[in-house]
Amino acid sequence: MYTLARQLLFKLSPETSHDLSLDLIGAGGRLGLNGLLCKAPAKMPVNVMGLDFPNPVGLAAGLDKNGAAIDGFAQLGFGFVEIGTITPRPQPGNPKPRLFRLPEAEAIINRMGFNNLGVDHLLARVAAAKYKGVLGINIGKNFDTPVERAVDDYLICLDKVYAHASYVTVNVSSPNTPGLRSLQFGDSLKQLLADLATRRAELALRHGRHVPLAIKIART
C-alpha cells in the first residue's frame, strides 16, 4: 500500500502531497480508522524528562504544524505527538515553492518558514482532540519580530500552551527564520533560557504542574 500511495503522491507537488496526506490522516483519525492501517506498536516504555512514553518513536514537529490531525497521528501508534512550530500570530511562511524532493537521497529540503495559523488556532485544535498521550507543543517566533525581542514571542507562546502540553519545545533551530539560530549560542541563549525558566516557575505555581522544556537546536 505504501508503494502505491508513494507513486500517487509523487505525481503531486511536495507541498500538495503533504497537505493531502495531512487531510487524509486527520479524516481517518476523526473516523477512528487509522489504527486499522498499522499493527499496534511494540510496547517499549521509556521515561524521559519525567514523562512516561509508551514507545520512543514520536512524530517530529513540522508535519502537523497546526495540530490538525492529532488523533489521526496518535492512532498510527506514535509514542508521542509533537505539534508546531507555532508562533504567536498566524503567518504565511516563505513564498512557494518551498519544499523540494531529493528522491535519490530519499530526502526533502524544507524552506517552509514557520507557516502556521497561530497559537490560538492550535489551542482550539488541541481542545478538540481526544488524544490523552504525550503531546509536545513546539514554539517559535514570528518572522517579523526582531531577534532582540524574540524572547517576547516565546513567552507569549509558553504562557498560552503551558496548561495544554506534556512538554514544550523551544525551537531555535530553524534556518528559515532570519536570525533565529543566533539564539543558539552564548549570551542570547543564556538570556532566553533564564527568561523561560523564570516564567516556567511562575506557570508551574499557577497551574500546579511542572511542564518540561526541551530546547531544539541545529547541528552546525
Ligand X SMILES: Cc1cc2nc3c(=O)[nH]c(=O)nc-3n(C[C@H](O)[C@H](O)[C@H](O)COP(=O)(O)O)c2cc1C
Residue 208 Cβ vs ligand X, minimum distance, rounded to whole Å: 28
Q: In this complex, which beta carbon is closest to ligand X, that of residue 61 or of residue 150?
A: 61
8 Å CB contact between 72 and 30: yes
* C-beta neighbour count of 189 within 10 angstroms: 15
The yes-or-no answer on residue 174 being catalytic is yes
Residue 72 Cβ vs ligand X, minimum distance, rounded to whole Å: 18
Which residues are 92's β-sheet partners? none
Residue number of the CB closest to ligand X reads 62
Catalytic residue among 17, 166, 173, 174: 174
Strands 167-171 and 213-216: parallel
Is omega for the bond preceding 90 within 30 degrees of 0, making it cis?
no
Q: In this complex, which beta carbon is closest to ligand X, that of residue 51 or of residue 94?
A: 94
* Spatial separation of the C-alpha atoms in residues 91 and 100, rounded to whole Å: 21
The residue type of 167 is: Y
Which residues are 107's β-sheet partners? 102
Q: In this complex, which beta carbon is closest to ligand X, that of residue 1 or of residue 105?
A: 105
Binding site for ligand X (CB under 6 A): 60-62, 65, 85, 99, 108, 110, 112, 114, 138, 171, 173, 216
Residue 68 Cβ vs ligand X, minimum distance, rounded to whole Å: 13
* Spatial separation of the C-alpha atoms in residues 119 and 84, rounded to whole Å: 9
Residue 18 Cβ vs ligand X, minimum distance, rounded to whole Å: 7
Q: In this complex, which beta carbon is closest to ligand X, that of residue 21 or of residue 35?
A: 21
8 Å CB contact between 115 and 97: no
Please report which residue ranges of 51-118 form alpha helices under DSSP H.
70-75
Residue 6 Cβ vs ligand X, minimum distance, rounded to whole Å: 16
Between the alpha carbon of residue 142 and those of residues 32, 127, 211, the distances in Å are 34, 23, 23
The residue type of 76 is: L
Q: In this complex, which beta carbon is closest to ligand X, that of residue 30 or of residue 176?
A: 176
Give the SS3 label for residue 46: strand
Annotated active-site positions, please?
Answer: 174
